[in-house]
């Protein structure tokens, strides 16, 4: 990285950043009481609030949101007349999944092969540390040139919409000229990337019942309707022979015109086993950024351990459907419900419930804030130009903010590049990416403040 005072300051702060991330990762802050006690999220929220107070933030508050989670808010006033920038991250994390598959304990930040491993290290506790690093670097180099609002969500991974509902009920709280969402990531390590689109999502649970109770498979098998077999038929109907998502009435052939994703790169990033083919058709970018994608993320039925020779009377699955920009998540949900009803065999009883939803998002990458970010990334990543890519994941808050504050410019950056393996076992963050993106964010705030000064001066002259 080219030497400059902000970069040098961030580099000097990295040991402190690692210590703080170690403390934050230690909280098992999964916003699902079936997985972790609520006290873990509460402890993480209090840690975040304490960090904001230590940085001089005012009006620091733990906001009780309608879904039962807490978001942390704080305000750091800037110079008079300066623009306001909202910085976003979330402290809740995905479950640890199979702990035995982790090379090191999931809630202990561990350095290995130049990366820091731990649940939430990249998604998105590291994003909060990135914001702190950027602000600290500016404080040490002339001060922060903008007013900063910080919002750190407590249930983003659950998709239950607590912060969105709170923001809609208190629209004055998060008003800003620009928003930096620190919850996406570079296309690859070392390539500065802003996220131009996010797929939306809907999450549903499906239950199929066929019998009053389980039956002996030898006595009744062959004629008694098998609930698990019926569920498998339903789930299989959601994909074509090549693995493409096929939900009756839902368009699935859109094209991605921007940065492309080679199959070789994707196979490496996704760690696809040798000889196993990819699913779907079109380019990889088409499939992961521009089209709907269905995934069965859980099934409840007989476990293999202790299985008995009996016919299942009921079976249940949880289904995630990613919805690209241009498609309404609520309409996609209705189409998914109708598809499942139509494709349930044996006239079995089927019931469904929606457990999460978020709309897709498309940013305006031609806005002035993106010019400021491109200039900042050019310094933080010498020799590289900022790229715009899509992201298959969802951040429902983006659409809420865009609706509430239509004039605000929303930028998406973060630490979740492919090697981070977010949502999987052995999640990690690249400390080099944390350092460079912190520098980029700090320089962006400087550039953005200056661009707003120039804009105001031009308006005054024209008046």
**CA distances to 12, 297, 416 from 439, in Å:** 12, 37, 17
The total number of residues shown for the chain amounts to 463
**CA distances to 66, 196, 244, 271, 272 from 73, in Å:** 16, 26, 41, 38, 40
Annotated active-site residue 257? The verdict is no
Q: Which two tokens stand for residue 446?
A: 């400087």
Establish whether the linkage from the previous residue to 55 is cis, with ω within 30° of 0. no
Buried b (16+ CB within 10 A) or exposed e, 314-346: bbbbbbbbbbbbebebeebbebbbebbeebbbe
**CA distances to 77, 266, 282, 377, 449 from 454, in Å:** 21, 42, 44, 21, 9
In sequence order, the 6+-apart residues with CB closer than 8 A to the CB of 363 are: 194, 195, 196, 197, 370, 410, 411, 412
**3-state SS, residue 369:** helix
Contact by Cβ (8 Å): 200, 360: yes
**CA distances to 23, 28, 32, 120 from 37, in Å:** 18, 8, 8, 17
Contact by Cβ (8 Å): 303, 312: no
Check 20, 40, 55, 156 and give the catalytic one.
Answer: 156
Check 40, 55, 92, 433 and give the catalytic one.
Answer: 92
Pairing state between β 215-216 and 310-311: antiparallel
Annotated active-site residue 212? The verdict is no
Nearest CA among 79, 13, 204 for reference residue 5? 13
The full DSSP string for 198-246 is E-EEEEEEEEEE-SSS-EEHHHHTTTSPPHHHHHHHHHHTTB-TTS-B-
Give burial (CB, 10 Å; 0-12/13-18/19+) of 298.
exposed
Residues annotated as catalytic (active site), given as ranges: 92, 156
């Amino acid at each position: 990285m080219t030497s400059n005072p902000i970069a040098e300051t961030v580099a000097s702060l990295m040991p402190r950043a690692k210590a703080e991330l170690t403390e934050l990762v230690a909280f098992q802050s999964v916003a699902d009481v079936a997985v972790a006690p609520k006290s873990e999220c509460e402890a993480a929220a209090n840690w975040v609030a304490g960090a904001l107070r230590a940085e001089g933030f005012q009006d620091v508050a733990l906001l009780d949101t309608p879904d039962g989670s807490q978001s942390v808010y704080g305000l750091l006033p800037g110079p008079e007349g300066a623009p306001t920038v909202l910085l976003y991250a979330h402290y809740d994390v995905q479950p640890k999944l199979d702990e035995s598959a982790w090379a090191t304990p999931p809630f202990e930040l561990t350095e290995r092969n130049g990366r820091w491993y731990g649940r939430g290290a990249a998604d998105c506790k590291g994003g909060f540390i990135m914001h702190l690093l950027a602000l600290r670097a500016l404080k040490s180099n002339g001060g922060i040139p903008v007013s900063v609002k910080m919002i750190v969500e407590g249930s983003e991974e659950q998709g239950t919409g607590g912060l969105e509902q709170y923001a809609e009920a208190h629209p004055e709280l998060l008003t800003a000229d620009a928003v930096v969402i620190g919850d996406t990531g570079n296309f690859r390590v070392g390539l500065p990337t802003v996220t131009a689109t996010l797929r939306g999502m809907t999450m549903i649970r499906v239950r199929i019942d066929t019998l009053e109770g389980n039956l002996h498979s030898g006595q009744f098998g062959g004629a008694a309707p098998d609930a698990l077999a019926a569920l498998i038929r339903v789930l299989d109907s959601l994909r074509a022979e090549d693995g493409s998502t096929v939900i009756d009435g839902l368009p699935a052939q859109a094209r991605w015109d921007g940065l492309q994703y080679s199959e070789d790169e994707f196979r490496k990033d996704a760690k696809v086993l040798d000889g196993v083919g990819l699913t779907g058709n079109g380019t990889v970018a088409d499939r992961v950024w521009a089209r709907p994608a269905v995934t069965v993320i859980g099934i409840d039925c007989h476990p293999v351990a202790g299985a008995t020779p009996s016919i299942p009377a009921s079976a249940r699955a949880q289904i995630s459907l990613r919805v690209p920009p241009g498609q309404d998540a609520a309409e996609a949900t209705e189409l998914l419900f109708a598809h499942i009803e139509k494709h349930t065999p044996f006239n079995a009883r089927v019931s469904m419930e929606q457990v999460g939803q978020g709309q897709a998002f498309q940013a305006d990458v031609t806005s002035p804030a993106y010019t400021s970010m491109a200039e900042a990334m050019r310094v933080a990543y010498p020799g590289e130009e900022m790229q715009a890519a899509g992201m298959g994941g969802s951040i429902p808050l983006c659409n809420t903010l865009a609706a509430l504050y239509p004039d605000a410019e929303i930028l998406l950056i973060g630490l979740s590049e492919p090697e981070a393996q977010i949502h999987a076992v052995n999640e990690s963050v690249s400390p080099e990416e944390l350092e460079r993106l912190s520098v980029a964010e700090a320089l962006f705030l400087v550039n953005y403040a200056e661009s707003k000064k120039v804009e105001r001066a031009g308006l005054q002259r024209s008046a």
